Structure 1
Amino acid sequence: MAFLTAFFGAIDNLTWGWALIPILVVFGVFLTIMSGFVQFVFFRRMFRVLGRGANNADPNAISAREALLVSVGGRVGGGNIAGVAVAITLGGPGAVFWMWAIALCGMATSLIECTLAQLYKTRDGEGGFRGGPAYYIRRGLGGRYNWLAIVYGICLMASFGFGFNAFQGNTMAGALHDSFGIDRLWSGIVIVAVTALVIFGGIKRIARAADVVVPVMALGYIAVAILVIGLNIADVPDMLVRIVRSAFGFDQAVAGGMGAAIAQGLRRGLFSNEAGLGSAPNVAATALVRHPVSQGITQSLSVFIDTMLICTCTALIILLGDVYVPGAQGIDGVALTQQSLASHLGDAARYLLTLAILLFAFSSIIYNYYLGENGLAVMTRSKPAVLALRLAILAMVFLGAAAPQATSVFFFSDPMMGLLALVNLIAIIMLFPVAMRVIDDYRTQLKAGVARPVLDPARFPDLDIDRKAWDPTVWK
C-alpha cells in the first residue's frame, strides 16, 4: 500500500504539482490566439442552444442542449461552493479575477476539444453516438496510438467513474447529516437508489435527468446570488475594485500577494471548468448536431456558465458578507460560504445551500458515471462488463456516503485525472491543424450566408470520419 501511495503521489507531483497547470494556462492562451479568439467571435451563437426549440432531425437523439446540460451538471459540483471559498481564503479576492481569466481562455480549449470529439464520434449501434479523446486519438492519430487511447480510458474510468463518485457520495451524505442529522447509512441507500434509476437508463435517461436538475440548480443558485447583490448593491463597486487591486498585488489581502492570487485563481478555475482535461468531450460527442463546431461552441458556453456565473455567485456571496476577513485563517470551504450566506439571508439560508450542494453533487455523479462507462467502452462494450461497472460505481457511491473515511482509499483519483489531461493535451496539439480546418469550414459557410452550417464529410476525404455519424442529407 505504501508503494502505491508513493507511486501515485509521484504522478500527482509530476502533473498537478508543477507541470500541468502552467501547461493548461499556456495552452489555453495559445489556442485562443491561434484560433482567432473563437470564444469571443462565436460568443453570441453560444446562447442559441438554450432555446427549447429542438433542431434535431431525430427527436429521440441527444440534443445539443441536453449535452450542454449534462456537461454543466458535471462541471458544476461541490467545488463551485467549497473550492471558490478555499481559493479566496488562500489567495484573497484577487483569486476571483484570475479564475475569470483562465475561464475565458478555457472556453477556447473546450471549443477545440469538443469540436474534435464531435468530428470523430461514431455510431454506437443503439441509435446514439460515442466519442471523446480516446476516439479522436484512435481515428485521428491512427492505430499506432491505440495504446494511448486505452491509457486514457483506464484513467477516465478510475478517476471519474470510481474515485470522484465516492467523493460526491460523501459530499451529499455529509450535507444531509450536518444540516438535518440524517444518518449516513440511510443517506447512502437513498442516494444509490436514485442514482441507479438514472444510470440504468443509459445516456438518454442521464440527459433527461440533467435537463430537469441542472436548470433548477443553476438558476436557483444564481437567483440567490442576485438577491445577495441586491441587498448589498451599494458595496458592489468597492468589491470589484478590491478584486482587481488584489489580483495585481495592490491590495495585499494574504501572504503571497499577487502570486497567491494567481496560483489559487488559476487552480480553482481549471479544476472547476475542466477545460483541457478531456472529460467534457465524452459528453459533447453524444449530441446530434449539424456541424462539429456548433457543439464546440455550445460546450464553450458550459465553461462560461460554470466559472463566470456559478463560481462568481459563490465569490459574491463571500466577498459581500462580513464573515470573510482577508488574511485570517480558520473558516474556509463550505463553512465560509455557508456562514456568509447566513449573514445575508439568515440561518435558514443554510438549508438553501445544503439543497444546492445536493443537486450539484448528484448532477456530478450521473455525469461521472457516464465518463466511467465511456472509459470502459474504449476497451469493451459487452453488456456484462457495463452491468459490472454500474454495480461497482453504485458501490463506490455508497461507500463514500456511508463510510466517510473510506474516501481516503481513492488517493489515485487526482493523479489519474492528471494523466488523462496530459494524454488529452498531447492529442489536441497533434490534431490542432485538423480542428482549424473544421473551424475554417464552419466560418466559410457562415460567410457564404449559411445560417446553420452542416458538415459534409466529402470535404474531408483524408480524415477517418464515421460517415454514418455525419450524413448531411439528414438535415435537408
Structure 2
Amino acid sequence: MFKTLEGFVSDFSSWVWDWPLLILLIGGGVFFLIYSRFTPFFYFKHAIQVLSGKYDDEKAPGQLNHFQALSSAIAATVGMGNISGVAIAIVAGGPGAVFWMWISALIGMATKFYTCSLAVMYRSEDDDGNLLSGPMYVITKGLGQQWKPLAIVFALAGLVGTLPAFTANQLTQTLVDVLDWNDSDKWYIGFSLAGVASIVILGGIKRIGNVASKLVPFMVVLYFITVIAILIIQMEKVPTMFTLIFSDAFSGKAVAGGALGYLIKTGVKRAAFSNEAGIGTAPMMHGTAKTNEPIREGLVAMIGPAIDTLLVCTLTALAILSTGVWQSTNDNGISLTLEAFNTVLPYGLGDIVVIIMVSVFALSTLFSYSYYGTTCLGFLTKPKYGKYYNYIYILSIIIAAVVKIEFAINLIDSAFAIMAIPTVISALLLAPRVNKRAKIYFQKLENKSI
C-alpha cells in the first residue's frame, strides 16, 4: 500500500510541476517585476534600514519586529533546501540548474514584495487579539468570501506542505552518515528531534521568533565562513564553475534533446523549496510584523530570497561543483554535500562542520514550519484550535526520519505546487492595490514625512 502511495505522490509531483505551474510562478514573477517597474529594487537600502530597527514601532500591531519576522521566515527557508536541495538540483539537472535557481530567486524577490505586502494589508485577529495572516486571509478579506474555496485549497495543502518531511529526513540521514549509525537508529533520532522541537514550537510564535532571531544570524555567518574557506582552497576552479553553470544552463545538447525544460523545472522547483517565493508560507510569518505600513514589510521580505538563494545556495553549489564529487558518486542530497566538504576540509573537519550546520539549519526550519501549519489549521477550523496541529507536526517528525528521501521530496513538492496556485492568483488580482499603497509610501519616504 505504501509503495502505491509513494508512486502516486511521485507521479502527481511530476505532473503538477509541469509547464502550467512553471508558467504561473515564473510568468507571475515576471509580471510583478514589470508591473512594479522594478521600483522596490531601488529601495533595497531602505529595506536594510527597516530591518536594522530604524523604523520599529513597539506600539504598532503585530507580534514580531521586522528583524524577527524576517529571521523566522529565513529560518524556514535557509535550511535543508540550501544544503541538501542544491545537491539534489545538481544531480537531477546538472550545473545549469543553479542558473535557473538564480533567475527564480530574482523573480521571487518581486513576488515576495507583493505577497508579503498583501499579508500585512489583509490581516485577521484571533480571540486574544493576536494577528493572523497568510494567503487564505488575503483571499477572503481582499477578494471576498466568494473566493473562500480557493483559500481552503491553500490551507488544506498547507497542512501537508508545512510538514517536516524533508528537513527531518535529511537531518537524520546526516547523523547516520557522520556517526556511522545503522538505519534502525533513525527511530531514536526521530524521537530526539521531536522532543527538542516541541520545547520551542509549543511556546508559540513569540518563542519561535525569539529563537529564530538568535539562530539565523549565527548559522548564516558560520556557513558563509566555512564555504568561503573551501572556495579559497579551490580558488582556481571557481571561475570555471561559474562558466560551467552558465554554459550548461543553455547548452546546445540540452536544447536539442528537449532537456532544457527539465533543467528549468528542476531549478525552479528547488528554488521554490529554498526561498518559498510564491508558495505562500512566508506571508504567514511576515504578516505578524509589528507595523502599520504593509509596503515596509514587503521590502523586508525581498531580502529573503537574496540571502537564502543568491547567497547561501550559490555558496553550496560552488562547493559541490568545485570538488567534482557530483560526477564521481551516486550519493544525493545531504550525503553529496557532506562528501564535497570532506573532500576539501582536512581531518574529518567536514563531518563536524556539516553536522553542526545541518543541525542548526534543520532545527530552525522545524521551529518555523510548525507555525505555518497551525495557521492553516486555525483558518480551516477556528484560530484557537490551530495549536493542535503542533501535536500532529511533532509526530510527523518521527515518521519523516525513516521514510525515503524521494517520497519526502515528492510529497512536499506536490503540496507546494497546490499552495502556489491560490497564492499567485490572489496576488495578481490584488497587485493594483499594492501599487497604490506603494506609490503613497514611496512619496512619503522621498518627502521624508515618515
TM-score, structure 2 length as denominator?
A: 0.89
* 1:344-379 CA distance string (max 9 Å, x none): 212321221122122222122122111100101112
Aligned partners of 2:168 and 2:397 also within 8 Å = yes
Tell me which residue corresponds to 1:143: 145
* 1:414-434 CA distance string (max 9 Å, x none): 333222211112211211111
Structure 2: distance between partners of 1:407 and 1:242:
27
CA shift at 1:216, angstroms?
1.7
Structure 2: distance between partners of 1:83 and 1:5:
20
CA shift at 1:202, angstroms?
0.6
Structure 1: distance between partners of 2:333 and 2:426:
35
Amino acid at match of 1:119: M
Amino acid at match of 1:78: M
Amino acid at match of 1:381: K
Aligned partners of 1:88 and 1:96 also within 8 Å = yes
CA shift at 1:316, angstroms?
1.4
Q: How does 1:272-351 map to 2 (within 5 A)?
A: 272-325=274-327, 330-346=330-346, 347-351=348-352
Structure with the largest fraction of helix: 2
Corresponding residue to 1:91 among 93, 113, 131: 93
Amino acid at match of 2:269: R
Residues 340/366 of structure 1: CA separation in 2 closer, same or farther (3 Å cut): same
Structure 2: distance between partners of 1:94 and 1:191:
35
Alignment pair present for 1:389 and 2:389: yes
Structure 2: distance between partners of 1:91 and 1:409:
19
Structure 1: distance between partners of 2:205 and 2:323:
40
- Which residues of structure 1 form unaligned runs of 5+? 453-476
Residues 170/409 of structure 1: CA separation in 2 closer, same or farther (3 Å cut): closer
Structure 2: distance between partners of 1:343 and 1:39:
41
Moved more, 260-269 or 348-357: 260-269
Structure 1: distance between partners of 2:430 and 2:414:
24
Moved more, 231-240 or 438-447: 231-240
Aligned partners of 1:322 and 1:343 also within 8 Å = no
Moved more, 353-362 or 254-263: 254-263
Moved more, 411-420 or 207-216: 411-420
Aligned partners of 2:165 and 2:397 also within 8 Å = yes
Tell me which residue corresponds to 1:446: 445
Question: Matched residue of 2:284: which SS?
Answer: helix
CA shift at 1:42, angstroms?
2.0
Aligned partners of 1:93 and 1:261 also within 8 Å = no
Structure 2: distance between partners of 1:291 and 1:89:
43
RMSD: 2.9
TM-score, structure 1 length as denominator?
A: 0.85
Amino acid at match of 1:21: L
Question: Matched residue of 1:81: which SS?
Answer: helix
Tell me which residue corresponds to 2:266: 264
CA shift at 1:54, angstroms?
7.5
Amino acid at match of 2:352: Y
Moved more, 284-293 or 92-101: 92-101
CA shift at 1:52, angstroms?
6.0
* 1:153-190 CA distance string (max 9 Å, x none): 12112321xxx313322222222222124632332232
Tell me which residue corresponds to 2:41: 40
Q: How does 1:155-166 map to 2 (within 5 A)?
A: 155-160=157-162, 164-166=163-165
Aligned partners of 2:174 and 2:334 also within 8 Å = no
CA shift at 1:284, angstroms?
0.7
- Which residues of structure 2 form unaligned runs of 5+? none
CA shift at 1:16, angstroms?
1.3
* 1:370-413 CA distance string (max 9 Å, x none): 11001011123364x34532222111112223x43599599654
Residues 377/257 of structure 1: CA separation in 2 closer, same or farther (3 Å cut): closer
Tell me which residue corresponds to 2:214: 212
Amino acid at match of 1:236: V
Tell me which residue corresponds to 2:194: 192
CA shift at 1:259, angstroms?
5.1
CA shift at 1:47, angstroms?
2.1
Structure 1: distance between partners of 2:193 and 2:256:
39
Aligned partners of 1:172 and 1:357 also within 8 Å = yes
Amino acid at match of 1:229: L
Aligned partners of 1:79 and 1:272 also within 8 Å = yes
Residues 448/54 of structure 1: CA separation in 2 closer, same or farther (3 Å cut): closer
Structure 2: distance between partners of 1:81 and 1:423:
28
Amino acid at match of 1:370: Y
Structure 1: distance between partners of 2:256 and 2:316:
19
Residues 91/413 of structure 1: CA separation in 2 closer, same or farther (3 Å cut): closer
CA shift at 1:88, angstroms?
2.2
Identity score, percent: 32
CA shift at 1:337, angstroms?
1.6
Residues 81/249 of structure 1: CA separation in 2 closer, same or farther (3 Å cut): same
Aligned partners of 2:13 and 2:410 also within 8 Å = no
CA shift at 1:304, angstroms?
0.9
Amino acid at match of 2:83: I
Structure 1: distance between partners of 2:431 and 2:238:
41
Moved more, 104-113 or 89-98: 89-98
Structure 1: distance between partners of 2:440 and 2:49:
20
Residues 411/251 of structure 1: CA separation in 2 closer, same or farther (3 Å cut): closer
Amino acid at match of 1:47: I
Corresponding residue to 2:240 among 238, 241, 244: 238
Aligned partners of 1:90 and 1:254 also within 8 Å = no
Aligned partners of 1:89 and 1:329 also within 8 Å = no
Q: How does 1:116-135 map to 2 (within 5 A)?
A: 116-135=118-137
Aligned partners of 2:10 and 2:407 also within 8 Å = no
Tell me which residue corresponds to 2:29: 28
